[in-house]
Chains A and B, each alone.
Chain A
Amino acid sequence: TQLLEQSPQFLSIQEGENLTVYCNSSSVFSSLQWYRQEPGEGPVLLVTVVTGGEVKKLKRLTFQFGDARKDSSLHITAAQPGDTGLYLCAVLGGGSNYKLTFGKGTLLTVNP
């Protein structure tokens, strides 16, 4: 069983559209991270959320941590082709502060 379930797995939209991707779990986490991985690159950290109900904004990206700290969402407003990439959520776990467990990601394609 996957610790983090991300949905949808694939998403293809037109430039200017809005979208939301989800990261869900039955476990409670002290914090959750979102990464974006562009083709041919390694993942890059976008945000860390730590408080239940927390909302963080990064330009057109809005991240929310669920009240119960079991899930998170990422909303993109007016998507642009530069937003294309694999969006990954991740949590510290396995009894260690040095190991990240990732979801399988949402592969987003924004068409011009």
Chain B
Amino acid sequence: KAGVTQTPRYLIKTRGQQVTLSCSPISGHRSVSWYQQTPGQGLQFLFEYFSETQRNKGNFPGRFSGRQFSNSRSEMNVSTLELGDSALYLCASSLVTPWGATGELFFGEGSRLTVL
């Protein structure tokens, strides 16, 4: 079965620009989470979506936003890019059963963003 697909894999932007990253979850997975990974801070939670609703948000400024579509695909957007936004952005999907989350995340390969 196909894994989590993230596009683009690599991108370079300049300060002040905005960027949109895309994530297609594993078929049947309705929960999609986004994480930012940097050498200094490690993996940090951005937000989580389920059935097109944001259920959780991490401690990131409002420049970071996301959404989820009816087919469970998700996008995240970063506006007014700063140098510190350079990172690997990871998307993960999870199977949510009627009795709750399984707690297992399946990650994509990530989108490597470089801000110049």
Q: Are A94 and B43 in contact (CB under 8 A)?
A: no
Q: Are B92 and A99 in contact (CB under 8 A)?
A: no
Q: Are B101 and A97 in contact (CB under 8 A)?
A: yes
Q: How far is the CA of A88 from the CA of B41 in the complex (A)?
A: 13
Q: Are A99 and B56 in contact (CB under 8 A)?
A: yes
Q: Are B50 and A44 in contact (CB under 8 A)?
A: no
Contacts of A31 in B (CB 8 A): 103
Q: How far is the CA of A104 from the CA of B50 in the complex (A)?
A: 26
Contacts of A13 in B (CB 8 A): none
Q: Are A92 and B103 in contact (CB under 8 A)?
A: yes
Q: Are A42 and B100 in contact (CB under 8 A)?
A: no
B48 at interface, CB cutoff 8 A = yes
Q: How far is the CA of A31 from the CA of B100 in the complex (A)?
A: 15
A73 at interface, CB cutoff 8 A = no
Q: Are A98 and B43 in contact (CB under 8 A)?
A: no
The chain B residue sitting closest to A105, CB to CB, is B42
With A92-B103, A99-B33 given, is the CB distance from A41 to B55 under 8 Å? no
Smallest beta-carbon distance B79→chain A, Å: 23
- For the A-B complex with A41-B109, A99-B45 known, give 9 more contacts whose Cβ atoms are closer than 8 Å: A33-B104, A42-B92, A42-B108, A43-B107, A97-B103, A98-B33, A98-B48, A98-B55, A104-B42
Show 8 A/B contacts (Cβ-Cβ < 8 Å), sorted by A: A40-B109, A42-B107, A43-B43, A45-B104, A96-B56, A98-B50, A98-B55, A104-B42
**A interface residues, Cβ below 8 angstroms from B:** 31, 33, 40-45, 48, 88, 90, 92, 94, 96-105
For the complex of A and B, the 9 pairs showing the least CB-CB separation, nearest first, are: A42-B107, A104-B42, A102-B43, A97-B101, A98-B48, A99-B56, A96-B56, A43-B107, A99-B45
